[in-house]
Structure 1
Amino acid sequence: MAARRVRGCPPLVSAIAYLTAATPPRLAVGGITVAIPVLAVEQLGDVALGGLLAAAALGPSIVAAPVVGAVLDRTRRPGAFVAGAGLLMAAAFTISAFLGPVPAWVVAVALAISGLATPFVFGGLSSFVTEGIPNERRAYAMDALAYNLGAVAGPAAVAAASALGNARIATLVMAAAALLGAVGTIPLRLRPLAGEPHASMLRTIAAGFRHIATHRPLALITASGTVSQFGAGGLAIAAVALAIGSTGDAAGGAVIVTAFAVGGLLGALWNSAHPSRLRPELEMGLGFAATGVFTVVAALDLGQLWAVLAIGVSGLFTAPAASAMLLIRKQQSPPTLRSQVFTVGAGLRAAAAAAGAAVAGLAAGVGGPALLAAIGVVWILSGAMLVAYPKHAPPIDGA
């Protein structure tokens, strides 16, 4: 299906319109996992509760991903579902802001419901990006930029709002961001990617899983992208362990993680302005491998500054690699299954990141340098998996 720009708008305006719709809700999700634990400590003095509530906001998205994708593949009004997801998130975050007066179990339920909506604004919205931005490489570079902006600006906005007020204000700011994203979807005028569905919902979900598992190009990039996030998920734990070992101050770990996020944002900005001309599977594999190499370099015992700089450089390659991955997802998915491919892929990456964080926590006793080097090796292996990608695999008809 030919790409459709926002009616009457040139490509640049369409790109801005997409960023306006996609960035705020992703910023809100990135920020709420920081705001909620701080709020739990401020209101109830309970760190453990904060962690459980953050998990409640993220966990359901993994289960909801295939259903959300199937809904978007079948509905005649995808824009209404995406906007509705943003409104649901805004309402849930508003309720969560009043933790303390509002019982913790009510906040947990609200956050879990918001987690069910998350796939609509992550993988779901990504599946429509080329409908507004005709150049595929630029479209997915913009989508990767929206992810990176959210990952950096979300926690930063929470930190600023908390400094100026408290975590309750920060949580309300996240609610406002989700609401802004819902409003921002209106100008996109999202349309169905395929014709009327002929199969039941269950058959649609089964077809999506079957396509992801058996179509070799898609199976490879899904596996590679999932493995890479297993490594990325452990970075914060490794950074804290490294900082404690080198300076005795755990706060240094936040500086290392921030360097990675800033590197990713700079890479996304560059890639959105200068999309690569490499074959997407080559760009993805080299990007993951380069991230791994510089992560291993950061593990060398040369001081905190060295680690910060090396990790910052490693982050530069993540956005171009992610952009290439998103492009392959689109090219190797029929329109009838595209949203499901995107949402399931995003869900698997989220699950892998959570697993990586858990494993890194259990293995923290080996020390920061060893843990960081292991994470780098995982990134390198994820890139090496793309060696098996079939050369010159043509896009699926209609993709």
Structure 2
Amino acid sequence: MLYRYSAILVPVGALVSRVGDDMAGTAILLFAYAGSAQGDSATVFGLLSVAAAVGGPVFGVWMDRAHSPAPLTLSLIAFTGGLVAIGFCLLHGRGPLAMVIAVLAGLFAPAVAGGWSASLTTDDPTRRRRLALFDASSYSIAGLLGPLLAGLAYVAGGPAAPLIVTVGLLLVGSACAPWTRGPAPARTPRRGGVSIRVSPLADLRSGFGAITQRPRLRWATASSCIAFFGFGMFLVLVPAISTARFGTPAAAGAILAVLAGFALIANAVLARGRGLERPGTALTRATATVGTGILLILIPSPVAALLAAAVIGAGDGPQLAALLHIRHLEAPAGLRTQIFTTGASLKITASGLGALAAGPLSHDGLTAPLVVAAAAHLVSAGVARLAGRALTIRQSPAGARARPRSHAAPRCRRRTLPVPPP
């Protein structure tokens, strides 16, 4: 009975938490828009993302060492409380204090991404692939529903309503977090029959070592960082793309909705097939598809912009699903959460750098930054091929050794027995 509840509540908690997290930035901007701290809202929004890059590895070590859902639950509560405190400070015009709280709250933000991803796993290979697909799809659903709910809440209840809905969703996710399975404990090192206590700093080094020393995990992580640099650049340009192709920045929502919708469709198709049985190949093809879609935006046509968004979404969903599946396959016991949260932190940082680089490149138009964003994805696809090769090289010998024996009756050599003399 407990397993049945866990199988339902854990995916629901992950989805609801991510929708709330996706609403958080928009909610803060809308809340400050009607107050006296409009100039501070963008800085607060940026500090939430920057702090996440530091908090990811530390949160991963904490959760891996605890072997329980308590760190995930407490981190979600702390992140939610931080958003409430930020809203209170912005309401009373205390921008500097809101920035300090944003840094502290951002340290717990990777719990929403990496913490839930590390919990969405099982020993069954088929169900593990399905959970990876759901995990990736939850990001697309959050990207589709988050801004929509924020806008509807703003229209219905005023500037404070989006922040209230965000806090409510995160509290629901916090209530589901205790049902997650804690990370499996690693085998305790022993010396002379005595267990050796490993320090958190040593665990932190082990986590980074696992990412850098395992070939397919190393190349998959590098590929995702390069791709998210380009994707962060693309996301910043969406309002400008909307203005150039449709004559109004309001169409940016339509572009992102088409992208998220096709990401969900692509993952649904992938779930019915066997594409994730070779996740390295799936990662390569999906990343190249995103780069191709970004290049299509260069065609000066509204129809081409929507078609490009559909192509980008068709690659974005499977790209994240394949990356998460590789992490589930490669993450060693005792370091699982740290692998996911560190990977999430690296992606957030790479996306932020891409967003910063988009500004100087877009002074002379959209062509230069879009070409750079597409080139980043094509380079990322080349790096992902190395992850696919490492996957094949590593799996083939093991697969040959682990090939099950046939259940057919064994052959017996004919043997002539001596006939006793009459």
Residue 177, structure 1, aligned to residue 172, structure 2 = no
Contact 2:20/2:169 (<8 A) preserved? yes
- Amino acid aligned to 1:186: P
Contact 1:298/1:310 (<8 A) preserved? yes
Cα deviation per residue 1:36-58 (whole Å; 9 max; x = unaligned)?
Answer: 11221211262x31110111222
Equivalent in the alignment of 1:238: 237
Equivalent in the alignment of 1:280: 279
Displacement, 1:310? 1.6
Q: Sort the Cα spacing of 1:369 and 1:72 in 2 relative to 1 into closer, same or farther, 3 A.
A: same
Q: Sort the Cα spacing of 1:272 and 1:154 in 2 relative to 1 into closer, same or farther, 3 A.
A: farther
Residue 393, structure 1, aligned to residue 391, structure 2 = no
Alignment of 1:65-144 (within 5 A): 65-77=56-68, 79-98=69-88, 99-101=90-92, 103-131=94-122, 135-144=127-136
Residue 220, structure 1, aligned to residue 219, structure 2 = yes
**What is the CA–CA distance in structure 1 between the aligned matches of 2:19 and 2:249, rounded to whole Å?**
25
Equivalent in the alignment of 2:404: none
Displacement, 1:202? 0.5
Equivalent in the alignment of 1:381: 379
Q: Sort the Cα spacing of 1:193 and 1:118 in 2 relative to 1 into closer, same or farther, 3 A.
A: farther
Contact 1:86/1:182 (<8 A) preserved? yes
Structure 1, gaps ≥5 residues long: 1-5
Alignment of 1:17-32 (within 5 A): 17-32=9-24
- Please point out which of 309, 312, 317 is paired with 2:310: 312
- Please point out which of 3, 7, 14 is paired with 2:2: 7
Contact 1:284/1:320 (<8 A) preserved? yes
Equivalent in the alignment of 1:60: 51
CA RMSD of aligned residues (A): 2.4
Q: Sort the Cα spacing of 1:40 and 1:310 in 2 relative to 1 into closer, same or farther, 3 A.
A: same
Cα deviation per residue 1:95-119 (whole Å; 9 max; x = unaligned)?
Answer: 3333222622333333322211111
Structure 2, gaps ≥5 residues long: 190-196, 399-422
Cα deviation per residue 1:164-201 (whole Å; 9 max; x = unaligned)?
Answer: 12221110110111100010123334354435584100
Report the TM-score, using the length of structure 2 for normalisation.
0.84
Q: Sort the Cα spacing of 1:122 and 1:277 in 2 relative to 1 into closer, same or farther, 3 A.
A: closer
Cα deviation per residue 1:300-343 (whole Å; 9 max; x = unaligned)?
Answer: 22x12321222122212212121111111121221122211111
Displacement, 1:128? 2.1
Cα deviation per residue 1:205-263 (whole Å; 9 max; x = unaligned)?
Answer: 01111221222211100000111100110113332333333444333344323332332
Between stretches 143-152 and 166-175, larger displacement belongs to 143-152
Between structure 1 and structure 2, the one with the greater Rg is: 2
Report the TM-score, using the length of structure 1 for normalisation.
0.89
Between stretches 197-206 and 105-114, larger displacement belongs to 105-114
**What is the CA–CA distance in structure 2 between the aligned matches of 1:91 and 1:132, rounded to whole Å?**
34
Contact 1:237/1:364 (<8 A) preserved? no
Alignment of 1:301-380 (within 5 A): 301=300, 303-380=301-378
Displacement, 1:140? 0.6
Contact 2:270/2:276 (<8 A) preserved? no
Contact 2:217/2:326 (<8 A) preserved? yes
- Amino acid aligned to 2:72: V
**What is the CA–CA distance in structure 2 between the aligned matches of 1:133 and 1:115, rounded to whole Å?**
34
Cα deviation per residue 1:108-144 (whole Å; 9 max; x = unaligned)?
Answer: 3333222111112211221121138762211111111
Equivalent in the alignment of 1:3: none
**What is the CA–CA distance in structure 2 between the aligned matches of 1:274 and 1:176, rounded to whole Å?**
36
DSSP-derived class of the 1:347 partner: helix
DSSP-derived class of the 1:130 partner: coil
DSSP-derived class of the 1:308 partner: helix
- Amino acid aligned to 1:120: A
**What is the CA–CA distance in structure 2 between the aligned matches of 1:275 and 1:238, rounded to whole Å?**
34
